[in-house]
């Protein structure tokens, strides 16, 4: 009974957010439905108490479960509605005109190949509006700078990708609270140090860390190292970025749960002579500190949660508990930001891949007994295959691109990633104190990075390495994932409905 209530609360809440993401609903009607569900819950609860003296009526228990599900569904709608605030009238009236604004940079500058993007907050603490500023590459800005900006205020617009898919850029920015953009306006730094002290310190350490890596490892291998350790891929050239996408290896340069887990596992190996639980706690603390150092963005937080779940799965070895933790993590993140359920592709991919790693990998491990366990190759084969199978329908629908070389690319590259990241951390950390001592570690890192980039470049140049399918049907995608759900959780779903209450 308690298990059923847990699942109906979580899934009911997520379904409410999902529906409200596509359809506007009158909040008063939703409140009425919520109040009605509470009344039904109390009604069935009273009936259940009366029936406990004699036979227990399953109808009453299912009534309790359904009323709780409806209440959770209503709360999901209300949570999304509370975040879906209308845009400020002042800024709406200024769209398309030149405006003069004062704002503070609320995140680290996003350095691109030809420009940089700044997220600024305008207004007081009770009514802040975020604006994305695109400006010149070589102007120096940092988190916490107060800026005076003059330029044309615009609203973001969707665009067509190279694969022929429409990218929902409006809602992509909206999930982060960004409603307006401004391109190449006049910017003047008024003051510095207006941000959070801890966040400013972490950004400073991160900047120095990257500087030491860049000075110890040649270009473009230094860019790959920055992507592996800190998810810094914004300075990649279009050609290099397309090579990662074509070979299905873009995940290794994103701040994913995979990268963060590697960081934690190295720490746990260092403390392996101590009790297991101490190593686990140390690994978890490392994840938290690592996420904070990257700026604690929504992507980093999601990656940290994914990594913590993977560590928890390896410690317990119990899929059921991990399933509950995974669902609870999703609900927690949606409570903070309900927009990510539909509008954050990386959030969706993270959870799909995590389900594959935790639940599907054990199903297919028997097919890879012929692979040696040395260097973790058998795990890499099975985990990579499981994740690839699970995410490719979503990638086909969302991105319109299918990599035909993703499996060999990942198999040839992934075994070297953990050691490469370890050397990168040593290079950056040692370089903070003594540059010359970091050079040998940087040279070994360069050799591994050069090999990894060579494999990716070679496979990306193979004819038909990637196939573009811009109009992959949504209903086929849904059918595939319904089958996946049935394959993994069919028995659990059946027992949920027909098992004893």
Tens digits of residue pLDDT in 306-316: 667 666 666 66
Is there a single domain that holds both residue 451 and residue 471?
A: yes
HSE value, Cβ hemisphere, 13 Å, CA-based, for 32: 5
The answer to the question of residue 234 being in a domain is: yes
Q: What are the tokens at 223? A: 């860019």
Q: Where is the domain boundary, 83, 116, 145? A: 83
Return the SS3 of 179: strand
User: How far apart (Å, rounded) are the C-alpha atoms in residues 463 and 450?
Assistant: 22
The 10 Å Cβ neighbour count of residue 430 is 19
> 337 and 226, same structural domain?
yes
Decide if 494 is inside a domain.
no
Q: What is the pTM of this model?
A: 0.80
Q: Report yes or no on 501 lying in a domain.
A: no
Note whether 467 and 393 are same-domain residues.
yes
Q: Quickly tell me which residue has 């090999």 as its tokens.
A: 451
294 and 146 co-located in one domain: no
Query: Model confidence at 205, in pLDDT bands (50, 70, 90)?
Result: confident
Pairwise CA distance, residues 383 & 482, whole Å = 21
pLDDT digit string (tens) for 435-457? 788 888 889 999 999 999 999 99
Tokens of 234: 């914004």
User: Among candidates 420, 408, 56, 373, which has minimal Cα distance to 263?
Assistant: 420
67 is a domain residue: yes
The pLDDT score that the predictor gives to residue 332 is 85
**32-65: pLDDT as tens digits:** 999 998 888 888 877 766 655 544 566 677 788 8
- The strand pairing partners of 133, in sequence order, are 118, 182
The answer, yes or no, to whether residue 342 has pLDDT greater than 50, is yes
* C-alpha 255, offset from chain centre: 8
| Residue at 280 is within a domain | yes
The CATH number given to whatever domain includes residue 157 is 2.40.50.140
Average pLDDT for residues 183-208, to the nearest whole number?
Answer: 84
**Among the residues of 231-365, which ranges form H helices?**
238-246, 257-270, 276-293, 298-316, 319-336, 340-343, 345-355, 361-364
Rounded Cα–Cα distance for residues 319 and 317 (Å): 6
Same domain for 182 and 278?
no
SS (H, E, C) 308-330: HHHHHHHHHCCHHHHHHHHHHHH
* Percent of the chain topping pLDDT 70: 84
DSSP 415: G
Instruction: Compute the distance between CA of residue 12 and CA of residue 393 in angstroms, rounded to an integer.
Output: 25
Q: Is the peptide bond before 220 cis (omega within 30 degrees of 0)?
A: yes
215 and 151 both lie in a single domain: no
State the Cα angle at 110 between 193 and 222, rounded to 5°.
110
Given the structure tokens 């951390």, which residue do they identify? 425
Instruction: Mark whether 79 and 99 lie in a shared domain.
Output: no
Instruction: Please give the pLDDT value at position 316.
Output: 63
Q: Chain-wide mean pLDDT for the chain?
A: 81
**Residues 309 and 393 reside in one and the same domain:** yes
323 and 364 fall within a common domain: yes
pLDDT, tens digit (0-9, with 9 covering 90-100), for 348-376: 877 887 788 788 888 888 888 887 777 66
Type and span of the H or E element at 62: helix 58-83
* 443-498 pLDDT per residue, tens: 999 999 999 999 999 999 888 888 877 778 888 999 999 998 888 887 777 776 66
Query: Is 500 a member of any domain?
Result: no
Q: What is the pLDDT of residue 78?
A: 94
Pair (266, 407) in one structural domain: yes
Average pLDDT over residues 16-25: 91
Q: How far is CA 290 from CA 227, 326, 343, 416, in A?
A: 14, 21, 25, 21
499 in any annotated domain: no
Tell whether 151 and 27 lie within a shared domain.
no
Cα 382 to the center of its chain, rounded Å: 22
Calpha distance 259→353 (Å, rounded): 13
Q: What is the pLDDT of residue 206?
A: 80
pLDDT-derived band at 320, boundaries 50, 70, 90: very low
Task: Compute φ and ψ for 52, nearest 5 degrees.
Answer: -70, -25
For the cut 90, the answer to whether the pLDDT of residue 74 exceeds it is yes
Q: Which of 42, 60, 83 is the last residue of a domain?
A: 83
- Residue 325: pLDDT over 50: yes
Classify residue 58 by burial, with Cβ atoms within 10 Å: 0-12, 13-18, 19+: exposed
Is 467 contained in some domain?
A: yes
Q: Do residues 453 and 220 make contact, with C-beta atoms less than 8 angstroms apart?
A: yes
Q: What is the mean pLDDT of residues 158-180?
A: 83
Please say which residue of 144, 170, 195 terminates a domain: 195
| Number of domains comprising the chain | 3
What is the spatial distance between Cα 64 and Cα 8, in angstroms, rounded to a whole number?
Answer: 11
Percent of the residues in the chain that have a pLDDT greater than 90, as a whole number: 16
Q: What is the pLDDT of residues 232-251, one digit of tens each?
A: 666 677 788 888 888 888 77
Two structure tokens written together for 333: 């993140």
Structural domain boundaries, residue 137? 89-195
Are 131 and 76 contained in the same domain?
A: no
């Amino acid at each position: 009974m308690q298990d059923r209530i847990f699942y109906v609360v979580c899934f009911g809440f997520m379904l409410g957010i999902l529906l409200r993401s596509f359809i506007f609903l009158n909040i008063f009607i939703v409140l009425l439905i919520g109040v009605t569900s509470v009344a039904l819950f109390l009604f069935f609860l009273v009936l259940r108490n009366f029936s406990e003296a004699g036979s227990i009526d399953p109808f009453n228990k299912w009534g309790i479960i359904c009323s709780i599900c409806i209440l959770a569904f209503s709360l999901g709608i209300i949570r999304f509605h509370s975040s879906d605030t209308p845009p400020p009238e002042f800024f709406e009236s200024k769209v398309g005109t030149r405006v003069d604004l004062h704002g503070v940079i609320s995140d680290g500058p996003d350095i691109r190949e030809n420009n940089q993007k700044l997220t600024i907050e305008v207004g007081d603490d009770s009514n802040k509006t975020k604006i994305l500023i695109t400006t010149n590459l070589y102007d120096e800005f940092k988190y916490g700078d107060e800026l005076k900006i003059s330029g044309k205020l615009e609203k973001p617009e969707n665009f067509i990708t190279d694969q022929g898919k429409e990218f929902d850029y409006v809602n992509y920015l909206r999930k982060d609270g960004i409603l307006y953009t401004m391109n190449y306006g006049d910017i003047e730094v008024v003051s510095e140090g207006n941000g959070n002290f801890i966040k400013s310190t972490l950004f400073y350490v991160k900047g120095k860390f990257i500087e030491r890596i860049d000075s110890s490892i040649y270009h473009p291998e230094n860019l790959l190292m920055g992507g592996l350790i800190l998810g810094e891929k914004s300075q990649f050239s279009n050609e290099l970025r397309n090579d990662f996408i074509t070979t299905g290896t873009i995940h290794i340069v994103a701040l994913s749960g995979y990268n963060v887990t590697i960081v934690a596992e190295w720490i746990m190996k260092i403390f392996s002579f101590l009790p297991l639980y101490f190593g686990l706690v140390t690994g978890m603390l490392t994840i938290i500190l690592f996420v904070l150092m990257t700026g604690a963005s929504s992507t980093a937080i999601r990656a940290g949660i994914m990594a913590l779940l993977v560590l928890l799965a390896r410690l317990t070895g119990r899929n059921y508990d991990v399933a509950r933790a995974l669902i609870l993590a999703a609900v927690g993140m949606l409570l903070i930001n309900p927009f990510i359920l539909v509008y954050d592709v990386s959030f969706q991919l993270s959870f799909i891949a995590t389900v594959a790693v935790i639940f599907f990998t054990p199903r297919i491990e028997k097919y890879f007994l012929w692979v040696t366990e040395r260097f973790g190759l058998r795990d890499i084969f099975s985990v990579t295959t499981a994740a690839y199978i699970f995410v490719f329908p979503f990638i086909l629908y969302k991105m319109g691109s299918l990599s035909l070389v993703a499996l060999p690319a990942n198999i040839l590259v992934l075994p070297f990633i953990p050691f490469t990241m370890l050397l990168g951390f040593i290079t950056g950390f040692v370089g903070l104190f003594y540059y010359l001592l970091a050079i040998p570690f940087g040279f070994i890192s360069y050799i591994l990075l050069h090999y990894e980039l060579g494999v990716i470049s070679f496979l990306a140049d193979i004819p038909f390495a990637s196939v573009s399918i811009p109009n992959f049907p949504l209903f086929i995608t849904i059918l595939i994932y319904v089958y996946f759900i049935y394959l993994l959780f069919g028995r659990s779903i059946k027992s949920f409905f027909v098992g004893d209450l």
